[in-house]
Amino acid sequence: MLACIVALSGGCAPEKDSRLEQIWNAGQITFITDNNAHCYFIYKDQPAGFEYELAKAFADYLLVDLQVRTPGWDDMFSHLLNGHGDVIAASLTRIPSREKRMAFSDAYLTIQQFIIIHKDNRGFFGPEDLHGKQVHVRSGTSYQQQLKELQKAGIDLQIALHKNVPTEELIRQVAEKEIGITVADTNVALLNRRYYPDTVMAFPISGRQSLGWAVREGDSELLEVINRFLANISEDGTFEKIYQTYYSRVELFDYVDLKTFHRRLDTRLPAYKSAIRSESRRHGFDWRLVAALIYQESHFDPAAVSYTGVQGLMQLTVATAREMGVTDRTDPRQSIRGGIKYLSTLYQRFEDIEDDAERMLFTLASYNVGYGHVRDAQQLAGEKGLDTKKWSSLRQTLPLLRYPKYYRRTRSGYARGTEPVRYVDRILTYYDVLRRRSLT
């Protein structure tokens, strides 16, 4: 009672709402992030990006709207500390200099910092090989701090700082030999290796480090809810789904294959791009995913013929071509029209799978190995207690169709089940490259 009277008489200020309460009262949370290919970007007027998807999931978790601000790397921290946002979600490495200024969430990814060079730049095996070299990094990053640690350890290197230049741009400059060396976290380096296959992850310059979200010191309630959210999405599969959307199988890398793919995007795809786009639109597919499938099937070669007798851009069998109304499998437009129509019929048959992304992965696998074998793999998944509507389950059970122990009790029998798993992986890699090209 006395405290209330004193407060009302002006003796002390009323207790201020916590940041979490302010968010709930406003019905909105403001995330501060970076505008790049892995944090946040706009494609066809729609927001996207790994950090954006996590932030959107958190806003939904709080039942509030999401606002995103991208003030630029050099201004992100002052924006947070001055109250212009609630959370920084920008793949921030937890380092002591930052932890003195802000409070960090539990880790959601673990990374290492790697030296990035061109494949022709030889003789880089460890930090001592940086003696006398110039390393280009964005200012204010953990990369800059780590390079300073190497200098303190006696490595005579020069640090070239770039203000508000994304790491992806510096990797591109390495690929084009405009600069010699940069640094990137493993997740960024592995992803960009797809786009710039001439780049090499030479060696690490840090131990294992954690990425986390940052809030102001004192926003303990908000931090507690963030940590609870991160734990929940780790357990229920939401985090893995978002991660795979942007970093699907990034560890898979075939230099020759990716170089050939990039070249044929310029030399072969243009002749068929218009037809692929129009037919994909007709059936509600992303044309870039269909183009990735076509490349996996034929490398954009309309005369391609496999040892099994399938033929054309979309490698149609005689029976499938007849069913889809294709009279000449080597005719690019007929093949594209018939192949996408067939893809659509497969997609429609998986109507029991509610998640569109999962449904598409099942469809792609069926295009390769056959609808019946995919349903058999679902049966095996159910027998093993796995989720029959998740591609992650079929990654485990499709390969089992090679063994009599399993295929003898299925309807469609034997299949080379590892093949559709690799098939889908490669298509997703090509698709990711095509999506990235659409942004540049």
What tens digit of pLDDT does each residue of 126-184 get? Answer: 999 999 999 999 999 999 999 999 999 999 999 999 998 889 999 999 999 999 999 99
Burial class of 247 by CB neighbour count within 10 A (0 to 12, 13 to 18, 19+): middle
For residue 8, being part of any structural domain is answered with no
What pLDDT is stored for residue 309 in this prediction?
83
Domain count, the chain: 3
| Catalytic residue of the set 235, 297, 323, 351 | 297
273 belongs to a structural domain: yes
Q: Does residue 353 lie in a domain region?
A: yes
The pLDDT-based confidence of 256 (bands split at 50, 70, 90) is confident
Verify that 362 and 430 share a domain, yes or no.
Answer: yes
Does residue 10 belong to any structural domain of this protein?
Answer: no
Task: Say whether both 240 and 384 belong to one domain.
Answer: no
Q: Is the same domain home to 262 and 124?
A: no
Per the model's pLDDT, the better-predicted residue between 16 and 242 turns out to be 242
Q: Which amino acid is at 150?
A: L
Is there a domain that residue 3 lies in? no
CATH code of the domain in which 301 resides: 1.10.530.10
Structure confidence at residue 17 (pLDDT): 84
Label residue 253 by pLDDT band (50, 70, 90): confident
Which residues face 199 on adjacent strands? Answer: 118
Specify whether the CB–CB gap between 292 and 230 falls below 8 A.
no
Is the domain of 235 the same as that of 262? no
| Domain edge (last residue) among 176, 207, 238 | 207
Query: Mean pLDDT over residues 289-309, rounded?
Result: 93
CATH of the domain at 75: 3.40.190.10
- Residue 11 falls inside a structural domain: no
Q: Is the pLDDT of residue 44 over 90?
A: no
Residues 270 and 419 in one domain: yes
pLDDT single digits (tens) 68-110 = 999 989 899 999 999 999 999 999 999 999 999 999 999 999 9
pLDDT of residue 15: 62
Tokens of 109: 């990814």
Residues 6+ apart with CB under 8 A from 385: none
Claim to verify: residue 147 and residue 267 sit in the same structural domain: no
* Residue at 304 is within a domain: yes
Is a pLDDT exceeding 70 seen at residue 14?
no
- Both tokens of 220, joined, read 């303990």
Could you tell me if 226 and 120 lie in one domain? no
Instruction: Categorize the per-residue pLDDT at 10 as very low, low, confident or very high, splitting at 50, 70 and 90.
Output: very low
Helix axes 418-439, 186-195, angle to 10 degrees: 90
Q: Where are the alpha helices (DSSP H) in 106-218?
A: 142-152, 167-175, 186-195
Residue 324 pLDDT > 90: yes
More confident residue, 16 or 423: 423
How high is the pLDDT of residue 8? 40
Q: What mean pLDDT is predicted for residues 232-245?
A: 92
The answer to the question of residue 62 being in a domain is yes
Is 60:242 a contact under the CB 8 Å cutoff?
Answer: no
Could you tell me which residue, 386 or 38, shows the higher pLDDT?
386
Q: What is the extent of the structural domain holding 266?
A: 256-439
298 and 428 belong to one structural domain: yes
Query: pLDDT grade, residue 16 (50/70/90)?
Result: confident
Please state, rounded to an integer, the average pLDDT across all residues of the chain: 93
Q: Does residue 297 have an active-site annotation?
A: yes
- Is the same domain home to 133 and 271? no
d(CA 240, CA 259): 29
Same domain, 181 and 85: no
Both 345 and 292 in a single domain?
A: yes
* CB hemisphere CA count around 384 (13 angstroms): 17
282 and 222 in one domain? Answer: no
Alpha carbon distance 136, 272 (integer Å): 40
